[in-house]
């Protein structure tokens, strides 16, 4: 091995020895300094350490502060559980908070040796809270059930009001349609009068032609058949107005042609007196044949016109019978509507009065419950708000009933005026009762009869329900009967609406 390596190793080992000695010295010095600092801390703690009583008092205060935090947590938890209906959980937190308060009072009053009075006082509050919670829960369930029943009654009353209002509007539309039908019938009669005047004028022209033909017959001693004078024309209807007008125009043209032929014959006769040639005789024969042909045409036209007049007379009689029957049905419907309106208003008044009494009872129960329970009034305040809302809805329903009564009175006045107009028109037109035959020929008659039968059954059922309602013995039976009555009334109103719609459709078919 070379020498320089040995010398290098020797130098390195020497350096390592010095480094190890320095590290050992430095570690010993640091351990000595650490021991000195720990001894000083122990001496300081020994000098500042309190007595045993002060430590116990401090621990009690810390425990009381911890109990305060627990009580605050329990109170906040109860506030968060107010919207929840879990009575068991709420009661547990109430008991826990009360026990924490009792333990805190025992610690603060230093009554650890005699805790019975404090525990009795707080346990009494726990028992009162549990008893009041159970009673409040029962009262709450009863009030909730009663409020639901009142809400259902309000909904039924609202539906009944809407159906009555719709029925009144439908009756108004039906009366309007009947009035329009009567006006149209009056206009048709006026047009028929104009036709009568036109027919009278045509009759006069035919009389004139007949006299002229008689003169020609007397002059030539040749029989010429003339159409008989038409008899007096009765009042007819405008159902075949266009065809009759065409026939009248044809008859007018025929009369003009006859007048022209007669004038030509008169001129030819004057010429014949001057020269009696054979050609003039032939011309006269041709003219007379033309005259006979025109007279035959006038006969056929007059016969067609008479047939049409007979048909229109039958239509007029049928229309008169329809209007007379409609008048009687309208009067019966008006009387029935008045009776039903009076009955409905009385029932609404009775229902509203009973609902007012029920709401007043609810308010009294809530006030008594609030007076007996001073722990938590939030539930009672919410129930009181709901009852006030229901009371306001009841007042609004009373206002609606009053408005409907006013509208019914106005509708009755309008109906009376319409009835008077119908009476005047019926007296002028001499209406008769035979609409059953025309009704029997339509498809709506079966449906009308079925609805009438159903209507009678519902009226009988309504009467029976009213009698049962009067003889009801308990409040629950009265509520059930009232609900059934409202349901039957709604069904009756729907059937009356359907019946009114069928009547309007029937009037539309007549028009």
Looking at residue 96, its pLDDT comes to 77
Select from 396, 416, 441 the last residue of a domain: 441
* Number of domains the chain contains: 2
One domain, residues 149 and 40: no
Report the distance separating Cα 402 and Cα 396, nearest Å: 10
**H/E run at residue 503:** helix 475-510
Select from 421, 441, 461 the last residue of a domain: 441
Looking at residue 465, its pLDDT comes to 63
Provide the pLDDT confidence category of residue 67 given band limits of 50, 70 and 90.
confident
When the pLDDT of each residue in the chain is averaged and rounded to a whole number, the result is 67
Domain assignment present for residue 285? The answer is yes
Mean pLDDT of 446-473: 64
Looking at residue 226, its pLDDT comes to 38
Task: List pLDDT tens digits, range 494-510.
Answer: 777 777 777 777 777 76
Q: How far is CA 236 from CA 67, 204, 476, 497, in A?
A: 107, 20, 65, 35
Position 236 pLDDT exceeds 50: no
Position 43 pLDDT exceeds 60: no
One domain, residues 38 and 187: no
One domain, residues 379 and 272: yes
Looking at residue 410, its pLDDT comes to 78
One domain, residues 271 and 159: yes
One domain, residues 294 and 398: yes
Q: Which residue has the higher pLDDT, 222 or 347?
A: 347
Looking at residue 46, its pLDDT comes to 46
One domain, residues 288 and 163: yes
Please list, in sequence order, all residues whose beta carbon lies within 8 angstroms of the beta carbon of residue 234, skipping any fewer than 6 positions away.
Answer: 309, 313
Looking at residue 240, its pLDDT comes to 43
Domain assignment present for residue 176? The answer is yes
Range of lowest pLDDT (15-24, 49-58, 358-367): 49-58
Domain assignment present for residue 472? The answer is no
Position 467 pLDDT exceeds 70: no
Domain assignment present for residue 116? The answer is no
Position 426 pLDDT exceeds 70: no
**DSSP assignment string, 255-304:** HHHHHHHHHHHHHHHHHHHH---HHHHHHHHHHHHHHHHHHHHHHHHHHH
One domain, residues 246 and 374: yes
Mean pLDDT of 288-304: 67
CA angle 465, 467, 473 (to 5 degrees): 95
CB 502 within 8 A of CB 451: yes
Report the distance separating Cα 134 and Cα 112, nearest Å: 33
Percent of the chain residues past pLDDT 90, beyond the cut = 0
Report the distance separating Cα 502 and Cα 511, nearest Å: 14
Looking at residue 225, its pLDDT comes to 38
Domain assignment present for residue 54? The answer is no
Percent of the chain residues past pLDDT 70, beyond the cut = 45
Task: List pLDDT tens digits, range 366-408.
Answer: 666 666 655 456 665 666 676 676 677 667 767 766 776 677 7
Tokens 């000595």 locate to: 32
Backbone dihedral region for residue 221 (phi beyond 0: left; psi -120 to 50: alpha; all else: beta): left
Mean pLDDT of 468-485: 61
According to the 3-state scheme, what is the secondary structure of 337-399? HHHHHHHHHHHHHHHHHHHHHHHHHHHHHHHHHHHHCCCCCHHHHHHHHHHHHHHHHHHHHHH
Q: Which residue has the higher pLDDT, 289 or 145?
A: 145
CA angle 71, 74, 79 (to 5 degrees): 130
Position 475 pLDDT exceeds 50: yes
Structural domain span for residue 38 = 1-46
pTM: 0.26
Provide the pLDDT confidence category of residue 441 given band limits of 50, 70 and 90.
very low
One domain, residues 161 and 274: yes
Select from 385, 408, 441 the last residue of a domain: 441
Using only C-alpha atoms, the chain has a radius of gyration, in whole angstroms, of: 56
Report the distance separating Cα 364 and Cα 358, nearest Å: 10
Looking at residue 511, its pLDDT comes to 61
Q: Which residue has the higher pLDDT, 378 or 316?
A: 316
One domain, residues 153 and 42: no
Domain assignment present for residue 296? The answer is yes
One domain, residues 156 and 9: no
Domain assignment present for residue 459? The answer is no
Task: List pLDDT tens digits, range 170-218.
Answer: 778 877 877 887 888 778 778 877 877 777 777 777 777 777 767 666 6
Report the distance separating Cα 327 and Cα 504, nearest Å: 14
Looking at residue 489, its pLDDT comes to 74
Report the distance separating Cα 495 and Cα 370, nearest Å: 49
Looking at residue 443, its pLDDT comes to 54
Tokens in use for 265? 């014959």
Provide the pLDDT confidence category of residue 262 given band limits of 50, 70 and 90.
low
Position 477 pLDDT exceeds 50: yes
Report the distance separating Cα 353 and Cα 305, nearest Å: 70
One domain, residues 35 and 158: no
Range of lowest pLDDT (140-154, 296-310, 428-442, 451-465): 428-442
Domain assignment present for residue 360? The answer is yes
Looking at residue 237, its pLDDT comes to 41
Q: Which residue has the higher pLDDT, 381 or 41?
A: 381
One domain, residues 337 and 211: yes
Backbone dihedral region for residue 110 (phi beyond 0: left; psi -120 to 50: alpha; all else: beta): left
Report the distance separating Cα 272 and Cα 470, nearest Å: 105
Position 244 pLDDT exceeds 70: no
Q: Which residue has the higher pLDDT, 294 or 97?
A: 97
Choose from 195-204, 261-270, 286-295 the range with maximum mean pLDDT: 195-204
């Amino acid at each position: 091995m070379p020498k320089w390596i040995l010398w290098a190793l020797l130098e390195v080992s020497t350096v390592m020895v010095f480094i190890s000695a320095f590290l050992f010295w430095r570690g010993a010095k640091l351990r000595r300094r650490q021991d000195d600092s720990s001894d000083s801390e122990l001496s300081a703690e020994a000098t500042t350490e309190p007595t045993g009583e002060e430590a116990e008092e401090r621990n009690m205060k810390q425990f009381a502060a911890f109990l305060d935090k627990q009580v605050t947590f329990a109170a906040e938890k109860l506030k968060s559980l107010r919207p929840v209906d879990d009575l068991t959980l709420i009661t547990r937190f109430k008991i826990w908070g009360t026990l924490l308060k009792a333990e805190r009072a025992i610690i603060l009053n230093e009554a650890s040796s005699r805790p019975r009075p404090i525990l009795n006082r707080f346990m009494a509050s726990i028992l009162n809270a549990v008893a009041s919670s159970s009673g409040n829960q029962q009262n709450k369930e009863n009030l909730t059930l009663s409020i639901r029943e009142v809400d259902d009654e309000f909904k039924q009353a609202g539906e009944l009001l809407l159906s009555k209002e719709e029925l009144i509007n439908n009756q108004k539309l039906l009366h309007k349609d009947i009035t329009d039908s009567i006006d149209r019938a009056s206009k048709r009669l006026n047009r028929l009068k104009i036709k009568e005047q036109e027919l009278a004028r045509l009759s006069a022209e035919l009389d004139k032609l007949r006299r002229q033909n008689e003169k020609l017959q007397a002059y030539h001693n040749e029989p010429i058949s003339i159409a008989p004078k038409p008899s007096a024309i009765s009042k007819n209807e405008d159902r075949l107005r266009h065809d009759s007008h065409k026939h009248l125009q044809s008859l007018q043209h025929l009369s003009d042609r006859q007048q022209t032929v007669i004038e030509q014959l008169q001129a030819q006769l004057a010429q014949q007196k001057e020269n009696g040639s054979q050609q003039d005789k032939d011309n006269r024969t041709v003219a007379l044949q033309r005259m006979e042909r025109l007279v035959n045409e006038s006969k056929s036209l007059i016969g067609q016109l008479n047939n049409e007049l007979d048909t229109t007379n039958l239509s007029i009689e049928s229309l008169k019978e329809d209007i007379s029957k409609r008048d009687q049905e309208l009067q019966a419907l008006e009387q029935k509507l008045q009776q039903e309106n009076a009955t409905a208003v009385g029932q609404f008044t009775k229902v509203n009065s009973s609902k007012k009494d029920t709401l007043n009872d609810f308010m009294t129960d809530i006030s008594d419950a609030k007076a007996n329970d001073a722990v938590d009034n939030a539930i009672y305040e919410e129930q009181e708000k709901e009852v006030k809302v229901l009371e306001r809805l009841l007042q609004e329903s009373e206002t609606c009933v009053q408005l409907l009564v006013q509208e019914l009175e106005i509708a009755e006045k309008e109906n009376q005026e319409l009835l008077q107009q119908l009476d005047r028109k019926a007296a002028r037109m001499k209406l008769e009762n035979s609409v059953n035959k025309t009704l029997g020929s339509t498809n709506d008659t079966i449906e009308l009869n079925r609805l009438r039968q159903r209507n009678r059954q519902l009226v009988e059922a309504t009467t029976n329900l009213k009698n049962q309602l009067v003889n009801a013995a308990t409040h629950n039976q009265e509520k059930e009967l009232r609900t059934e009555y409202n349901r039957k009334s709604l069904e009756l109103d729907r059937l009356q609406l359907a019946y009114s719609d069928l009547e309007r459709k029937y009037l539309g078919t007549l028009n």
